[in-house]
Amino acid sequence: MIEVNDIRKTYHTGGDTVTHALDGVSFTIKDGEFVAIMGPSGSGKSTLMHILGCLDTPTSGTYVLDGEDASTLSGDRLADIRRRKIGFVFQSFNLLPRTTVLRNVMLPLTYANIPMEEREARAKASLAAAGLDESRFEHKSNQLSGGQIQRVAIARALVNDPALILADEPTGNLDTRTSEIVLATFEKLNREHGRTIILITHEQEVAEHARRIIRIRDGKIQSDSGDHARRIPNPEPSTV
C-alpha cells in the first residue's frame, strides 16, 4: 500500500539557513492497517502528512502509494492522485454549512461526473458506514453536533472509495466524549471494512486507538510499533 523510503524535506529560510523538516524517514504501511503518526509541534509530522497526502513532494527519497510513485509528480498529477486515492478528514471539518448532509457527501462525486442516482446511493452507503443515522441525512451541516459533523466528513472521505483515509488531528475541535465516538468510528471502519487509515496526532490518548504507532521527532522516526502491529491479522479490504 505505502512505501516511504529515505524521505527528506529541507527548507531554505533565508541566507544560508536550512531547516531539515524530515531527515531520512522510511516505513511501509500494509493495506488494511490503522496507523497513528504521532509527534509534538515541530517534529515533522505535518510535513510528512503533506507528503503522504500528495499535497507536497519530498526534497529526496521516494513515496509510493498504491503502486504509484508520487515523489516527483507535477501539481496536476498530485491532484489527480488525491482525487482518486486519498480521502481526507480534517480538524476543521470543511463542510458547506447551508448544504444538506447528503449533498455534502455527494459533492466529490459531482466533480467525478458520476450520475445522480449513483451519487446518492454511494453517499448514503458512506454515511451508513460512518455511523450517521439516516434521519440526519437531510439536515444541514450547521444543524448537527460536532461529532455528527465529523462523521459526515468521514463519510465524504469514503465516498470515492479511496485507497487511503488520511485524518489530520480529526478530534482537535471536539470534546473528550465526542472524540471517543469519532475515534470509535475509525476503529470500526478499519476493523469491519478493512479501511487503511493514517491518523496524524500529537496526543497519546488519540494515538492509542490505532493498531500501530509511529513516533516522529526532529524529522526522524523515533519508534515504530509496526513489528507488533504486523502480527495482528487485518480484515479483508471492503469496497464500502
- Distance separating alpha carbons of residues 212 and 226, to the nearest angstrom: 6
- Distance separating alpha carbons of residues 180 and 193, to the nearest angstrom: 19
DSSP assignment, residue 107?
A: H
Per-residue model confidence (pLDDT) at position 235: 42
90's grid cell: 480534517
* Average pLDDT in the chain: 89
Rounded to two decimals, the pTM is 0.87
Question: Across the strands, what pairs with 22?
Answer: 9
User: Side chain identity at 58, as an amino acid letter?
Assistant: P
The answer to whether the beta carbons of residues 42 and 219 sit under 8 Å apart is no
Residue 236 has pLDDT above 50, yes or no: no
31's grid cell: 493495506
- Distance separating alpha carbons of residues 130 and 118, to the nearest angstrom: 18
Residue 228 has pLDDT above 50, yes or no: no
Residue 232 has pLDDT above 70, yes or no: no
Residue 233 has pLDDT above 80, yes or no: no
Backbone angles phi, psi at 184, to 5 degrees: -65, -30
DSSP assignment, residue 238?
A: -
pLDDT digits (tens, 9 = 90+) for 87-116: 999 888 888 888 999 999 999 888 778 899
Per-residue model confidence (pLDDT) at position 105: 95
Q: Between these two residues, 155 and 239, which has the higher pLDDT value?
A: 155
pLDDT digits (tens, 9 = 90+) for 169-221: 999 888 999 999 999 999 999 998 899 999 999 999 999 999 999 999 999 99
- Distance separating alpha carbons of residues 2 and 202, to the nearest angstrom: 22
Q: What's the CATH number for 34-54+84-229?
A: 3.40.50.300
Nearest residue to 95 (alpha-carbon basis) of 149, 45, 58: 149
The answer to whether the beta carbons of residues 105 and 165 sit under 8 Å apart is no
Residue 76 has pLDDT above 60, yes or no: yes
pLDDT digits (tens, 9 = 90+) for 3-23: 999 999 998 877 678 889 999
Beta carbons within 8 Å of 60's beta carbon, 6+ residues apart? 6, 7, 8
Domain residue ranges of the chain, discontinuous segments joined by +: 34-54+84-229
Residue 234 has pLDDT above 70, yes or no: no
Longest dimension (CA), the chain: 59
Residue 30 has pLDDT above 80, yes or no: yes
